[in-house]
Amino acid sequence: MDKDVQAIIDVWHEKVTIPDLKEELDALIAAGDEDKLFDAFYRSLEFGTAGLRGTLGVGTNRMNEYVVGQATKGVADYLNAHYENPTLALARDSRLKGEEFQKVAAGILAANGVKVFLFPRIEPVPTLSFAVRHLGTSAGIVLTASHNPAAYNGYKVYNDNGGQITDEAAAEISANIAAADFFGLECMDFDEGLANGMINWIDDEVIDAFIAAVKKVSIPGFKADESYSVVYTPLNGTGMECVSKILKEIGVDKVSVVPEQANPDGHFPTCTYPNPEFRAALELALKLAEEVKPNLVVATDPDADRMGTAIPHAGEYKLLSGNEMGVLLMDWLINMAEANGEDPKTKVAVTSIVSSTMPDALAKDKGFELRRVLTGFKYIGDQIDQLKDAGEEDRYLMGFEESYGYLVGTHARDKDAIVAVEMCVEMASDYASKGMDLYEAMDALLTEIAGLKVVGMTDFSKGPEMPRVSGLQKEAPQFLPPANVIEYALEGDNKIIFRPSGTEPKIKAYLFAKGATRADAEAIEAKLRAAAEEIFA
């Protein structure tokens, strides 16, 4: 064992008093499990703009009360250096040890002169972002590990705008953390803090105000048809309270909740990876949907900042990707704004540089401004702040990331699955009134190229089956290796393929034209060339 690591282990072995952590450390030492001991103590969890995240357990490289305490001392020192009489809003999701961590954080903040406002029960991440803005606190903390497996917990810090902290703030807090000892930190007794006013419960009025703010972005006059039904799963997380309230606000009374995933449970017993991006997390919801036949299936991740969906189409439930939902919402919202008499050219939508390229085409077609930012929803929140500072907050249309995060409205500065559920229901209802489901609506967004109907699309990045024509074809199908190539099959056996050059900094378009005569084929080829040049432009 490295002697420096062993010295840290010896200090912890002497000073740890929390029963479960002491028991775990004693067991590791008694077993002589040097690999596990080294992994738990060879470094400290790194603090960055996304805060801390790690597996639960004893050690400097784990999430536990001592690591949370040290991080909170770093945050308290930062707030005292930048604010007079600092305040902080504090929340937790359904993760294991969330309540213990919340009390440790509240006690250390209070002991260091930071007045704390904390939610009395688990709440979604977007409610914390909203509470910071609504209460006017100096900062916010939420204890969450988002959609990670049950062994994880985490610690995210928000600035006074309700967005995640900047790189500069993270660096300063990180330096403060490094200077703080794990043991001997001053921590006010929780009940004492409640009694002296340094620790305060957040009133339900804040949740009511959050729901009212979400409802505010609803399409004016919208009320779901009384027959409209939804299957919903909070994946044993925080979404139940707020999703139920917003669905009721927009007239959806027929909500079937997946019973095995309805109650908060940090063990996440029904799926090892509670991430609505993956079909496995929605299996129980899809099974229930086969029984009750809802108009829509929605899932929110444990901290309710991401939403996954499935919609009935052609006799089965189809899942929509984060890109597909983001593009659908963007297109629908700009159409709704235009129908409401607003000029699309005044609107601003935001997405990340790694999200779909389809918003570019939408922006060119509809005339709104599209801004692309780095990955991380804080950058989308920053664009809202820039608009607000310019007195143009009402220009914001929506923002999304391909990882199933959406924000409509300016009530928060982080992705919000609650408003996403509301908007998804309203959009699906609107398309249903036109005889379309969301799957068909997505197909309709790219219906033709050069006047030719798109009849198929192959994304070679997914390693598709190798095309084969005629022959006996007795062998099993072969699959091509993934490649950065997209092919659009067009009516009349025409097609166009896009791929980046392997040797030059450019994108290539390959045009395939078929006509009854050479002249017909050349005419189609000219149209395809013009369409490709427009896309490149």
DSSP assigned state of 216: H
User: Could you tell me which residue, 460 or 317, shows the higher pLDDT?
Assistant: 317
* Other residues' Cβ atoms within 10 Å of the Cβ of residue 289: 24
Q: What b/e readout covers 346-371, taking b as 16+ CB neighbours within 10 angstroms? A: ebbbbbbeebbebbebbbeebebebb
Instruction: Indicate if the pLDDT at residue 480 is higher than 90.
Output: no
> Can you spell out the DSSP letters for 8-70?
HHHHHHHH---HHHHHHHHHHHHHT-HHHHHHHHSSPPPPBTTBEEEEBSSSTTSBSHHHHHH
| Listed range (221-230, 352-361, 431-440, 441-450) with the worst mean pLDDT | 441-450
Catalytic residue, chosen from 44, 129, 138, 146, is: 146
| Listed range (60-64, 145-149, 325-329) with the worst mean pLDDT | 145-149
* 3-class secondary structure, 91: strand
Confidence of residue 423 (pLDDT cuts 50, 70, 90): very high
Residues contacting residue 335 through CB under 8 Å, at least 6 positions apart = 366
Confidence of residue 132 (pLDDT cuts 50, 70, 90): very high
Confidence of residue 470 (pLDDT cuts 50, 70, 90): low
Please give the pLDDT value at position 251: 96
Please give the pLDDT value at position 488: 85
Let me know if 131 is exposed, middle or buried by CB neighbors in 10 A (0-12, 13-18, 19+).
buried
Q: What b/e readout covers 190-217, taking b as 16+ CB neighbours within 10 angstroms? A: beebbeeebbbebeeebbebbbebbbeb
Could you read off the pLDDT of 66-90 as tens digits, one per residue?
A: 999 999 999 999 999 999 999 999 9
Q: Are 498 and 509 a contacting pair, CB within 8 Å?
A: yes
Instruction: Indicate if the pLDDT at residue 484 is higher than 90.
Output: no
Instruction: Indicate if the pLDDT at residue 472 is higher than 70.
Output: no
User: Could you tell me which residue, 90 or 466, shows the higher pLDDT?
Assistant: 90
Report the side by side order of strands in the sheet with 369-373: 369-373, 348-352, 396-401, 405-407
**Across-strand partners of 454?**
490
What phi, psi does 461 have (nearest 5°)? -70, -15
Q: Are 506 and 500 a contacting pair, CB within 8 Å?
A: yes
Please give the pLDDT value at position 357: 76
Instruction: Indicate if the pLDDT at residue 36 is higher than 70.
Output: yes
Please give the pLDDT value at position 356: 81
Residues contacting residue 229 through CB under 8 Å, at least 6 positions apart = 252, 254, 255, 256, 292, 293, 294, 295, 296
Please give the pLDDT value at position 105: 98
Confidence of residue 487 (pLDDT cuts 50, 70, 90): confident
Q: What is the mean pLDDT of residues 214-240?
A: 96
Q: How far apart are CA 497 and CA 488, in angstroms?
A: 6
Please give the pLDDT value at position 507: 87
CA-based radius of gyration for the chain: 26
Confidence of residue 122 (pLDDT cuts 50, 70, 90): very high
Q: Is 146 a catalytic residue?
A: yes
Q: What is the mean pLDDT of residues 2-17?
A: 94
Could you read off the pLDDT of 278-318 as tens digits, one per residue?
A: 999 999 999 999 999 999 999 999 999 999 999 999 899 99
Distances (CA, A) of 67 to 51, 166, 185, 319: 12, 21, 11, 39
What phi, psi does 226 have (nearest 5°)? -60, -20
Please give the pLDDT value at position 471: 67
Beta strands 486-490; 494-500: pairing state: antiparallel
Please give the pLDDT value at position 459: 78
Q: Are 373 and 327 a contacting pair, CB within 8 Å?
A: no
Average pLDDT, the chain: 93
Could you read off the pLDDT of 381-413 as tens digits, one per residue?
A: 999 999 999 999 999 999 999 999 999 999 999
Instruction: Indicate if the pLDDT at residue 432 is higher than 90.
Output: yes
Q: Are 391 and 179 a contacting pair, CB within 8 Å?
A: no
Instruction: Indicate if the pLDDT at residue 49 is higher than 90.
Output: no
Instruction: Indicate if the pLDDT at residue 531 is higher than 90.
Output: no
Q: How far apart are CA 106 and CA 478, in angstroms?
A: 58
Distance from CA of residue 503 to its chain's centroid? 36
